[in-house]
Chains A and B, each alone.
Chain A
Amino acid sequence: MAGELRRVLARVGFSVFVALAAAFFALPMLWLVFAPFDPVPTLAARPAAPTLANFRDVFENPLVLTSLRNSVLLALYTMALVVAASTLAAYALSRTRLPGRDLLLYVLLLFSSVVSGTAAMVPLFLLVFELGLINTYLGVTLVLTGGLLPAAIFILKDFTDTTPTSYEESARVFGASPFQILRDVVVPLVRPGMAVIAVWSIVNVWSNFLIPFILLRDPDLAPASVVTYSFYTEGGQADLRLLSAFSLLYSVPVVVMYLFVQRRYGFRFYGGIKR
């Protein structure tokens, strides 16, 4: 009887916890569901007779669609570079014995916090300026990649550390080049890790305001994170009609992209061969 009661209580506790957690995460998102369709949105998340007027107004701004496209481009470029460079590096670092290797990774990880702060703004600007890469996506991509690489390598190295080398050794015996081994043996095994890095890079770039803001001049090149602030008036006020609609547009692609990766690769932190 006590066992029964305990099981029932456990089930009730489980349901209550899950319900509360779901509510906690879902409730704040309500604003994004209601406000964009509200003709006079305020900070309250309340349902109103839905209208698409805000979207119509938002699209009158010629920069809106361009900026979303720019965000996608920047995110994809950076993701590609980060995934490629970090996979190569993580594989190499986990297959060779280098003294101080782990320490180096930790130090680089700490440095990436300096470079993502506002104090590094001027050095980054001057560096990119001297390289002649101001107002180019190459400049922005390189800077963003540099900042993301240490953590990406850190994560991916854990995946590559735990894939067994037997397959690689056999492939080596059969004369495969290191690159072929990486491509045909290792990558399929660490693909979930690469998917995690890909999503993480895209999410970081999508949100990043500071780097594109200081390195890009042309309004046509600006990504959505920068263009968001053009929906504030000269007095610094938020125009909620446009801002809510734009926020929704700004959020959708990145969520869709995550769902796509989740479907295709499973967005989980599994490493190597599962038991």
Chain B
Amino acid sequence: MQTTSPAPAEAPGGEAPPPGGEAGASVLGRPAAGAFVAPALLLIAGFLVFPALWTLYLGLTDYRLTGAAAADPAFVGLDNYTEALQDPRFRNSLVVTALFVFGSAVVGQTCLGFALAWTLRDWRSPLRALIEVLVIVAWILPGSVVAFLWIAFLDGQSGTLNALLPGVDTEWLLDTPLLAVIVFNIWRGTAFSMLLYGAALSAVPPSHLETARLAGASGWQQLRDVVLPTIRGHILTSLLLISLWTFNDFTPYLLTRGGPNFQTEVLPVFIFRNAISSGQLGYGAAISTIVLGVNLVIALFYLRLLRERR
């Protein structure tokens, strides 16, 4: 999640000193800063970094949940990684995940979230609050509940969707599983983008928009030439976060169990299947490391785009 700032030049990782930031170094001396950071750092070191590194180490072994390799795992070096790269199911999972992230996060949640933020921005009406609450509740509801809601919604014979589309009785989860799961995730996660863009839009100086309007620019042109460049940093940060989150989202499993025929087996589901269902924890850990690597590439890509605007 990312916030907006009244100073449009702010963005994480940026060089330009923000109005509050580095200039205030004298306010907080080194010892106090150290003390403040300590609790978080200790927690993160102990309960995040340590287990994460341990997991990465497991990826170099043939550790299993049961059997001989569970009591006595052997170091196998990069074997798990070479196996993964040759595993057609892994490659399938990578493609499915890429489509899932691109379709539901990069395109879906961003466009819908922005569209909602843009159209609702000046609307003073109780209905506006209602819509925002609906969007946010979709995000708040627990995962298992939401899965049920959508299995019911998409059911071929008695689902609400088909009840509204006369003559249609497609089994969406069976015939168009990836599409169904993408639409589901758009429903689930748009709230974050909507809130973020709403805040970002409210920070666009009204004077700029006014100037553009007086110069004859249409709403669309104002959007394109004034608004988007101003909030570009926020768009990119939001994209980065939701891409990472969606990449690691396990919820599709609750709808389709990764099927039919592995068509919706995103990487978190693939890891689960291998680590738990098949008991190959070492292999699953290696996949987790590869996922980490892919996430890193995605993050670097976005950071590059962020820096470019300087």
Contact = CB atoms under 8 A, between A and B. Distances in A.
Interface of A: 10, 14, 17-18, 21-22, 24-32, 35, 42-46, 81, 84-86, 88-89, 91-97, 102-103, 105-106, 108-124, 127, 142-143, 145-147, 149-151, 153-155, 157-165, 168-169, 172, 177-179, 181-182, 193, 196, 200, 203, 206-207, 209, 224-225, 228, 243-244, 247, 250-251, 254-255, 258-259, 267-275
Given A94-B21, A106-B299, A178-B29, A159 B149 contact: no
A112 B48 contact: yes
Interface in B1-57: 1-7, 10, 12-13, 18-30, 32-34, 36-37, 39-41, 43-44, 46-52, 54-56
Interface of B: 1-7, 10, 12-13, 18-30, 32-34, 36-37, 39-41, 43-44, 46-52, 54-56, 58-59, 63, 65, 112, 115-116, 119-120, 127, 130-131, 133-145, 148-153, 155, 157-161, 164, 187, 195-196, 198-200, 202-203, 205, 219, 241, 244, 247-248, 250, 268, 271-272, 275-276, 281, 284-285, 287-289, 291-292, 295-296, 299, 303
A158 B2 CA distance: 7
Nearest to A120: B55
Contacts of A26: 134
A93 B32 CA distance: 11
13 contacts: A25-B138, A31-B152, A95-B28, A108-B44, A110-B296, A119-B281, A119-B284, A121-B276, A122-B65, A178-B27, A247-B148, A270-B4, A270-B199
B50 A127 contact: yes
A255 B195 contact: no
Contacts of B18: 94, 161-162
Contacts of A81: 43
Contact of A94 (B20, B150, B299): B20
A31 B255 CA distance: 15
B136 A267 contact: yes
Contact of A164 (B12, B20, B150, B164): B20
A247 B46 CA distance: 34
A21 B116 contact: yes
Contacts of B143: 207, 209
Contacts of A150: 44, 48
A203 B187 contact: no
Contacts of B159: 43-44
A163 B13 CA distance: 17
B275 A121 contact: yes
A14 B121 CA distance: 12
Among B28, B41, B268, residue most surrounded by chain A Cβ atoms (within 10 Å): B28
A118 B47 contact: no
Residue among A17, A109, A117 with max Cβ neighbours from chain B (10 Å):
A117
Nearest to A81: B43
Given A42-B158, A268-B198, 11 more contacts: A30-B153, A30-B160, A31-B153, A89-B40, A95-B28, A113-B291, A122-B63, A158-B12, A162-B5, A181-B27, A251-B145
Given A17-B115, A165-B20, A258 B46 contact: no
Contact of B244 (A108, A110, A196): A110
B19 A164 contact: yes
Contact of A146 (B47, B112, B136, B241): B47
A81 B39 CA distance: 10
Contact of A147 (B26, B30, B47): B47
Chain B CB count within 10 A is highest, among A24, A30, A259, for A24
A161 B5 contact: yes
B3 A271 contact: yes
Contacts of B51: 115, 120, 123-124, 127
A88 to B, nearest CB: 4
Nearest to B149: A28
B158 to A, nearest CB: 3
Given A97-B25, A102-B13, A169-B26, A85 B55 contact: no
A106 B158 CA distance: 45
